[in-house]
Amino acid sequence: MSNDGQVSKSQGELTGAEILSQPGCWRDSCSSLQQKETLQDLAREFVGTEEWLFVGCGSSYYVAMSAAATMAELTGLRSRALPASELLLFPEQIRHGKKTAVVLISRSGRTSEVLRVAEQLARRGVATLGISCAPKQALETLVSKAIVLPAADEQSTVMTRSFTSMLLALQAFAARLGKADEFAQAQERLSAGAQSLLKTLPGRVRQFVDAHGFEDYVFLGQGVLYGIACESALKLTEMSISYAQSFHTLEFRHGPKSVVSEKTLIGVLLSESSYTEELAVLEEVKSLGGTTLAIANRSEERARTAADLTVELGFDGPETSRAPLYLLAGQLMGLYTGIAKGFDPDTPRHLSRVVVLDDRSR
């Protein structure tokens, strides 16, 4: 109880609850998309699109990375991701003569750079799809079509369930366009997989964090998991004011591995399609004296031997459909590291829930 008689909120209380709420949030968001036939309508709207460009800022840019990788895999269409500022300053990134559609991602629907890109594209007649978690915001009025996931919005500053829910929705859209029925069916089971994983994962991650005093963090991933690696690193930076980096897994050998030490946690997101190559990097890091975290759908003895902490997802379904599950450990790592360092992950310093710039900066 505080001096003014109000009940005190513990550090990270909101963020922790929002991380744990993700299974239910995914279920509600998917159900809403199905009931409203949103995906069917969008598939009709964007039929004939030849190229997809996914755009966001910060965490939303990392959603864009993983969503673009999914779209390319499930549809075979050219797909890429850009920060909103890059498209704003260099609009020639959209090629003339191609039927390009742009996905604009903003949790709040009010991010200044994203709105300015939306205005720019509207003037050029480019088809756009907006996705956010806040209804009746500016982004909805500026795009051709919109997806809004109000159940995924957060009270805390950092993005957790909004990230995974927007990614889930964009992956579901890609599955609809690509007629990937097996992928869509796997998504329906994803919330149950997350619920099972979260029964023990928070306690294991907190125990691991409390047992170590890491100075730096690195997350490695390839393909759809590279965006997840970037977001995992950002969660450590935002919630615990820690220095964290992300790299493509095999690129880590080409210079960045000089940071390896027992005081630097190296998290490797192991895919199945490139498991052998990525496992070799994990083993190399361990041989250099690094402290390691391995996240895999299923691991075997070599991976467990090379990892100080192993997280197994144990989810059956297409590999790319599991992407949101890979992020849970990174979110929890950021939460518990921030608490251990005496910070409040709900309200990181210097940050706000949405970046709104003064119009004079145009």
Kindly give the confidence (pLDDT) of every residue in the chain, 362 residues in length, as a single tens digit, with 9 standing for 90 and above. 344 434 446 888 999 999 999 999 999 988 888 877 889 999 999 999 999 999 999 999 999 999 999 999 999 999 999 999 999 999 888 876 679 999 999 999 999 999 999 999 999 999 999 999 999 999 999 999 999 999 999 999 899 999 999 999 999 999 999 999 999 999 999 999 999 999 999 999 999 999 998 999 999 999 999 999 999 999 999 999 999 999 999 999 999 999 999 999 999 999 999 999 999 999 999 999 999 999 999 999 999 999 999 999 999 999 999 999 999 999 999 999 999 999 999 887 776 665 566 664 44
Q: Is 291 helix (H, G, I), strand (E, B) or coil?
A: strand
- Label the pairing between strands 216-221 and 243-248: parallel
Contact yes or no for 295/270 (Cβ under 8 A): yes
What is the enclosing helix (H) or strand (E) of 245? strand 243-248
Q: What is the pLDDT of residue 9?
A: 67
Long-range contacts of 162-165 (CB under 8 A, 24+ apart): 162/107, 162/133, 163/59, 163/60, 163/62, 163/63, 163/231, 163/327, 164/22, 164/25, 164/26, 164/324, 164/327, 165/22, 165/25, 165/26, 165/29, 165/133
Quote the strand ranges of 74-114, DSSP E: 78-83, 100-105
Q: Give the position of tokens 């609009």.
A: 91
Q: What is the pLDDT of residue 341?
A: 94
Q: Give the position of tokens 């050998």.
A: 253
The span from the CA of 79 to the CA of 242, in Å, is 32
| Count of beta carbons in the 10 Å neighbourhood of residue 284 | 15
The span from the CA of 173 to the CA of 177, in Å, is 6
The span from the CA of 108 to the CA of 204, in Å, is 32
The span from the CA of 275 to the CA of 290, in Å, is 20
Q: Which strands, in side-by-side order, build the sheet including 309-312? A: 243-248, 216-221, 264-270, 291-296, 309-312
Q: What is the pLDDT of residue 95?
A: 74
The span from the CA of 153 to the CA of 164, in Å, is 11
Burial 206-224 (b: 16+ CB within 10 A, else e): bebbeebebebbbbbbbbb
The span from the CA of 11 to the CA of 355, in Å, is 23
Q: What is the pLDDT of residue 14?
A: 94
Amino acid at 187: Q
Amino acid at 40: Q
What residue ranges define each of the domains in the chain, with the CATH number in brackets? 13-189 (3.40.50.10490), 200-340 (3.40.50.10490)
| CA-based max dimension of the chain | 65
- Could you give the residue ranges of the DSSP H alpha helices within 264-320? 275-287, 301-306
The span from the CA of 311 to the CA of 19, in Å, is 17
Q: Give CA 17 to chain center in angstroms.
A: 18
Q: What is the pLDDT of residue 361?
A: 43
The span from the CA of 137 to the CA of 109, in Å, is 5
Q: What is the pLDDT of residue 4?
A: 41
Best CA proximity match to 224, nearest among 60, 70, 121? 70
Amino acid at 288: L
Q: What is the pLDDT of residue 6?
A: 43
Contact yes or no for 29/168 (Cβ under 8 A): yes
DSSP conformational letter for 10: P
Q: Is 48 helix (H, G, I), strand (E, B) or coil?
A: coil
- Label the pairing between strands 291-296 and 264-270: parallel
Strand partners, 147: 131
